[in-house]
Amino acid sequence: MPPTDRFAPPPSLLTGKRIVLGVTGGIAAYKAADHASYLAQQGVDLRVVMTAAATRFVGPMTFEAITRQPVYRDVFDGWAGEEAGHVTLAASADAVIVAPATANTIARMAQGMVDDMLTATLLATQAPIIVAPAMEHHMWHHPATRANIELLRSRGVTIVEPESGHLASGANGDGRLTSRDRIVAAVREQLARGGPLAGRKVVVSAGGTHEAIDPVRFIGNRSSGQMGVALADAAFDAGADVVSVVGPTVTVPPMVGRVERCESAREMSALVQEETGDADVLIMAAAVADFRPESAVASKIKKGPGDDAPIVRLTRNPDILATVKRDGLFLVGFAAETDDLVANSQAKLQAKALDMLVANDAVATIGSANSQATLLFANGDVIQLPLLAKAELARVIVHQLIPALPEAERKDA
């Protein structure tokens, strides 16, 4: 058996990436501090550029303390020695984010103006640019802003649309800076391009299912869906086209790829069958109920005086993995066992003709943020992993399945 340290989790997509965060002079500038803090915690090599107006809203010191780097403010700074100011910064970037982006900066970008450090960096960079506008409702809907946004889009700039809601003016309307998660998802989409799963469709199921007893009651399980969500994230970050089929227990669905929601095992089965028709990989991380009430009652079961407690007869649910099996679809199953983990999992791998099986201790894993898993492969390989956070385990699983995919199936390579 290989030593476990060989399977140390690969770094996350954001770790070590040089990202330039441009902050402009809107009221939402304070939110950029949270974005900067989050990115720094993800291991991003973050450089912040502020416009003069932005410094009226938030002090540069905030960003300097978060990034431990000087904040770029003046296009005439940073020209000593090897440094070529905005040119060096622009060339070193893996991605440039402008959040919040004012109507004014968007207009200057659209015109190709270079009258400060941020616009100079934006014009000089070859890296993907992600713009998250934030402004008052009528500014956002003004024909000038609409035209500028469309022009930027046509040049390949990613626009992360603002949301509707409470605005700084006190009114409700469009123009509110979107969530940090949506901005980060847009950055990840750009950074993941050309990854090892580019051109591949990966379907991931996540969470438990609800099996109706009557219109208000169901049989469910304790699965949180964290593992499936982490797998969708990891596959997306490896460049895959990801579809997540998530059950009702998933409270925080993946922010990336496409998400399809379902309630029952039979609904999940139908969705998985539909989505795997043209997929390369199916990862069944969902805790699908094995049984459901034989017939769901149409009206709420009443507790009348003297009534006996109802007897709910169960019947078997479809085995999703068995129904989708076909050549060219790489199947990854999960086994949550309470006894004889490896022996029971080997039997499941063979019985279901899986390509890969992730076996873990049911009690220790379900609902926990960590998991100690064993990976079993169709060729007999077994890899015992150390205790890992589910996000780390997801990256190991995805990176272990990439070389196991048949060469002939690779669409791009």
Ligand X SMILES: Cc1cc2nc3c(=O)[nH]c(=O)nc-3n(C[C@H](O)[C@H](O)[C@H](O)COP(=O)(O)O)c2cc1C
Q: Which is nearer to ligand X, 103 or 357 (CB)?
A: 103
Tell me if residue 253 falls in helix, strand or coil.
coil
Instruction: Report whether 251 contacts 275 (CB < 8 A).
Output: no
Q: Which of 148, 172, 221, 370 is catalytic?
A: 221
**CB of 140 vs ligand X, minimal distance in Å:** 9
Give the torsion through C-alpha atoms of 222, 226, 228, 229, to 10 deg: 140
Question: Cα–Cα distance between 337 and 359 in angstroms, integer?
Answer: 7
Of 127, 184, 182, 192, which is closest to residue 157 (Cα–Cα)? 127
Residue 53 or 362 with smaller CB distance to ligand X = 53
Helix (H) or strand (E) holding 298: none
Least Å distance, CB 378 to ligand X, is: 55
How long is the chain?
A: 413
Residue type, 190: Q
Nearest distance, CB of residue 137 and ligand X, angstroms:
11
Specify the 3-state DSSP secondary structure of 213. Answer: coil
Torsion of CA 137, 26, 179, 139, to 10 degrees: 20
Q: In terms of CB distance, is 24 or 148 closer to ligand X?
A: 24
Q: Where does 263-330 have alpha helices with state H?
A: 265-276, 320-324
Report the run of H or E that residue 379 belongs to, with start and end: none
Residue 115 vs 290, nearer CB to ligand X? 115
Q: Which residue has the tokens 């669905």?
A: 253
Minimum distance between the CB of residue 52 and ligand X, rounded to whole angstroms? 6
Shortest reach from residue 111's CB to ligand X, in Å: 13
Residue 163 CB, nearest approach to ligand X (Å)? 13
Catalytic-residue membership of 221: yes
Between CA 226 and CA 233 the distance in angstroms is 11
Cα(336)–Cα(87) distance, integer angstroms: 53
Binding site for ligand X (CB under 6 A): 24-28, 51, 53-54, 102-105, 134-135, 139
* DSSP H stretches of helix in 70-204: 85-92, 103-111, 117-124, 137-141, 143-154, 180-192
Q: Which is nearer to ligand X, 31 or 292 (CB)?
A: 31
Positions marked catalytic: 221
